[in-house]
Every structure is written in structure tokens, then in C-alpha cells.
Amino acid sequence: MNTKLHAICDSQGRPIDFFVSAGQISDYIGARALLSSLPNVKWLLGDRGYDADWFREALQDKGIRACIPGRKQRKTPVKYDKRRYKRRNRIEIMFGRLKDWRRVATRYDRCPKAFFSAIALAALVIYWL
């Protein structure tokens, strides 16, 4: 019953793509699943859960600069643009607006497909209609 929602958003905070994973699974699984659907952008803002060398290299191969702070356990600190990272609040606002829909916030659906459909419907109505 525990899930994580991974999302790709544009610069205005509108969702472009989603991926739902089990709650106990690492964020790397979501990153790997959404990597192929990344649009052509200059920067990617992500939280500490997406800090991995392989992910940074994959982004660099696509010509995308990563603005992801390093994990606390990292031996060598990673430099990132702190001013640009503050814009990540748009993503958090997007998740908050999705949770305004009671069905999404309380996760009524037991089936992951039905839950994902509710998320997609909420995003469509909130941002694209």
C-alpha cells in the first residue's frame, strides 16, 4: 500500500511524465525508469534521493546539467547551483496540488494501475485543461 511517485515537470511546474514505484524501493529505480523520457533541457533539478554517479553521467551524456545536491554519506561533496536548486519548490508545489485531490492524497485505490490513473486524471484536470 506504500508507493512513491516520481515525476518530470517543466519549468512552470506542470507534470510531463510520472512513474509509480513501491515505497520501499530506492529512488534510483524511478530515475532509471524516467531517464529515457527526459525532454531536451539544459538543467535537471532533483533532490538528494537521485544523487548517483551513474545518473549524473547519463544526464551528462544527454547534454543535461544536473542540479542535485550530494547525499550526506558522500565522501567527496558535489557542487551544485544553490540558487537554481531553490526553484525545485515548483515540483513540491505540483505534488501538493495533486494531493488536493482526496483520492490521490489518501490513496483509496489498492491497485497501482487505478492509483496511477487517478494521478494522471488529477494532473490533466489541474494543469492541462
- Quick: pLDDT tens for 62-105: 999 999 999 888 888 889 889 999 998 999 999 999 999 998 88
Confidence (pTM): 0.83
Q: Give the number of domains in the chain.
A: 1
CATH of the domain at 67: 3.30.420.10
Report which of 2, 4, 41 is spatially closest to residue 19, judged by C-alpha positions. 4
Give the range of the structural domain holding residue 124, as residue numbers without chain letter: 3-128
- Quick: pLDDT tens for 37-70: 898 999 999 988 899 999 999 999 999 999 999 9
